[in-house]
A and B are shown apart, each in its own frame.
Chain A
Amino acid sequence: AQSVAQPEDQVNVAEGNPLTVKCTYSVSGNPYLFWYVQYPNRGLQFLLKYITGDNLVKGSYGFEAEFNKSQTSFHLKKPSALVSDSALYFCAVSLDNYGQNFVFGPGTRLSVLP
């Protein structure tokens, strides 16, 4: 069965510093990996996805993520954090088309301090 772990409940970073939100996964095949962001009282917004090819994926709002197959990780990164990046971030993994195989991690709350 697929699973996704986000080992940090909370990440605090100063504005202007680089940020990393960690994600590790466990699947029995080749994964498709996704990152989402959620602002208060809103739905999840899709940021980026990894399908195949280049291990560094670029997405919306200056975010990028690095796929590492040997470490089964897909960490979200941004070179310079903004206060407006403060939100809840979810990692997700999918293997195929079927609904039950799209699994979300528990979420990491990012706080960017001015």
Chain B
Amino acid sequence: SQTIHQWPATLVQPVGSPLSLECTVEGTSNPNLYWYRQAAGRGLQLLFYSVGIGQISSEVPQNLSASRPQDRQFILSSKKLLLSDSGFYLCAWRKTGGNQPQHFGDGTRLSIL
């Protein structure tokens, strides 16, 4: 069966510090991968998605970036965090095909001080 791992679960960082969040998927090949941010326990904001290694599409211009160095690895990064980057970050994967659901990791709670 397929599993998705996100780490760390919680992170407290000062303003201006760098960020690296990692997401890996097991048990499937060539998944579509997604990064979302969720503020205040409500709606999801799609940040990045990837349909293959090195292929990243950005949905929202900001100081975050994403990379996919391996087929089942998706990394969210920032060189300098802002207070507004606080939130709950979720990674998801999906098999190819419009009728396939997305499957989510357990998220990273990021607090910027």
Q: List A residues at the B interface (Cβ < 8 Å).
A: 32, 34, 36, 40-46, 49, 51, 88, 90, 92, 94-102, 104-107
Contact = CB atoms under 8 A, between A and B. Distances in A.
Contact of A43 (B32, B42, B105): B105
A99 B32 contact: yes
Given A42-B107, A97-B32, A100-B59, A34 B43 contact: no
A97 B90 CA distance: 20
B90 A107 contact: no
Nearest to B10: A41
B98 A100 contact: no
A95 B98 contact: yes
Interface of B: 6, 32, 34, 41-44, 46, 49-51, 57, 59, 88, 90, 92, 94, 96-107, 109
Contacts of B98: 32, 94-97, 101
B32 A45 contact: no
Nearest to B96: A97
Contact of B102 (A42, A95, A102): A102
Nearest to B33: A99
A102 B44 CA distance: 12
Nearest to B44: A104
Contacts of B32: 97, 99
Given A42-B106, A99-B32, A49 B51 contact: no
Contacts of B101: 34, 46, 49
A36 B49 CA distance: 19
B42 A32 contact: no
A44 B97 CA distance: 20
A49 B99 contact: yes
B90 A102 contact: no
B41 A98 contact: no
A107 B104 CA distance: 16
Q: Quick one: which of B41, B88, B99, B105 has the most chain A CB within 10 A? A: B99
